[in-house]
Amino acid sequence: MNRAWRNIKAIIAKELKGYFGSPVAYVFTIIFLLLSGFLTFSVSHFYEAGQADLRAFFIWLPWIFLFLVPAVAMRLWAEERRSGTLELILTLPIRLPEIILGKFLAAWLFISMGIALTFPLVITVAYLGNPDMGAIIAAYFGAFLMAGAYLSIGALTSSLTRNQVISFIVSVVICLFFVLAGWAPVTGALRGWAPLWLVNIISGFSFMTHFVTLARGVIDLRDVVYFFSVMGFMLFANAVVLQNRRAV
């Protein structure tokens, strides 16, 4: 157990060195912060709305993550395959689940750092008004979980190909399905011809459905379980893909 944890930590350290050793980390973080800031203040009219909450910010996250998280995830496995280091790491005395977990946690940690860097927004709203801090914390918690779910899908697509672009595109498409399944215009349209129980099942699969509750400040165990289930399933599939490689 100790050995496994030490290996995972070593992988996390190696991965983070990799992120910060290349422009990826800085480009991602800066773009994320600029984009979310722009959308919150200019497009959502945060000031004009005059509400002491961060709905204006959180409402954009599913869409921002849709493009930025797959961009982080696409290099997870595709890069190792392309550069030949997969052959190096898989012949070291480390278990595959340890590598998978280490890479995923490192990426999640990195994205979480980006999300955490939006704290000036919290300071702003706390200074200007009297927000419900509990609700804001819950919403951040939901954002971390949702980022993890997007990431796990990106990790899976990355393990399927050597090509980072393919990984990115496929991952965006899959995540798009996950988001749209619970997006109001889509569920509205579905309700027109499908029975209610079916609409509920479909939207129950969606990131949007589960994030919206958390973003409002309500920590429902079902939503937490949902996100962890998505991550668990995708990481398991990731392991299956790598375990069953028949060729390089």
Q: Which is nearer to another protein, 15 or 53 (CB)?
A: 15
Structure tokens that stand for 92 in this block:
């070291």
Say how far apart CA 141 and CA 224 lie, in whole Å: 9
* H helices, E strands: number in the chain: 15, 0
Say how far apart CA 85 and CA 158 lie, in whole Å: 15
Q: Which stretch binds another protein (CB under 8 A): 2-10, 46-54, 128-136, 209-217?
A: 2-10
Q: Which of 1, 130, 185, 246 binds another protein (CB under 8 A)?
A: 246
Nearest to 74 by CA among 2, 157, 189, 9: 157
Write the interaction track for another protein spanning residues 57-86; mark x where CB under 8 A is met and - where it is not. Answer: --------------------------xxx-
Taking the complex as a whole, the smallest distance from the CB of residue 83 to another protein amounts, in Å, to 6
Q: Which stretch binds another protein (CB under 8 A): 10-18, 29-37, 131-139, 214-222?
A: 10-18
Structure tokens that stand for 185 in this block:
């215009």
For tokens 């804001």, the residue is 136
- Region label for 217, one of left (φ > 0), alpha (ψ between -120 and 50) or beta (otherwise): left
Is residue 109 within the footprint of another protein (CB under 8 A)? no
Q: Which of 27, 34, 52, 90 binds another protein (CB under 8 A)?
A: 90
Is residue 27 within the footprint of another protein (CB under 8 A)? no
Contact residues for another protein (CB under 8 A)? 3, 6-7, 10, 13-14, 17-18, 21-22, 83-85, 87-88, 90-95, 245-248
